[in-house]
Structure 1
């Protein structure tokens, strides 16, 4: 079976700094995988490599058997960055932001068809935003904006979703709602790679975890990776079971 994501020997340098060193990672369909590491561990660099936004020094990235560039053009990978470059004063409504997730499917005219509008409506409903569809983006709370950007990724209907710190700055209720949605996507066969600092929330969210520190330190089922020993190596932390 073709992997949703297959990374082999990926290395990335910024000048003399090696951000990623010989990283291997395979993600099969129907999985939520947590990518954990400290700031500077290479998580965002890995995401940008998967999206084809930077050229690796060595190694390959395949998304459903295609190159990153091919997958991006075919809307087969959706990316939710940690910080969205949308001016809160810009006069764009929530449903219009979600519609941008359909652009790759709409052709050069970017004229929305019935299928595009239906996908937007379904994504808004799934993230609990139907009543806020006509709200200007700057009038939404931080958690509501996060849900808008998740809805945009869902509307794209990509088999692979990359979410960079999706829970940063959101309340516990929003985090739980988003977790439910991600599990529904997993159960429907989509694959989700989630970058997160929340080591204690990974057990609830993820089937699998990868600890990254420029290279892969641990990779496997969440309960086998999130242990006092591995967390101590990466974060200098202990799990609650170890007494924190």
Structure 2
């Protein structure tokens, strides 16, 4: 029965987008990205949430939400949680990582700018349908050092983002610890670890392609949302 349970568990964790309960996002986790958007460098992680309804898989399109005039791409490494925990200590944090995912934190930048200026939450700007494109699940042993991988993104074959996770301000064990002191992390949850510099706009008809060098890549067309 243990073997059957393990096989079922592995199948489930590999389909985190179907049953995971939350997407925890880290903003401003790269100094150069803070600079390009003229944001201060945070002294502690900036945390926000995306709903799991924002997941979209390759083969579908990223759809510009009605009323959005400036949609930005942000390529990120995602952490897939495999073991429930709260108040997780940094030296035990990687034990809660089941694997990884390549993700895009799509952002309605015009909506976010208005929300920031008014001191309001970013939920609409970050949580619309198709705001979180994700790759297939990446087994943990496929990435030997998640703090030294190259993330890249092209729009219409033109390189826009080309950075490394070695430049993250807050590393993965600390992020897991920090989040888990406030909310329990559960199996299938995903933590998006922030984006390197080079974020920018996409429009209907564009094609985004992004990847983790030598590990995985994915491609998404951009379309206007139609009812």
Q: Please state which structure has a larger fraction of its residues in strand.
A: 2
**When the two structures are superposed, what TM-score results if normalisation uses the length of structure 2?**
0.24
**When the two structures are superposed, what TM-score results if normalisation uses the length of structure 1?**
0.23
**Structure with greater Cα Rg:** 1
Higher RCO (CA 8 Å, separation ≥ 6 residues): 2
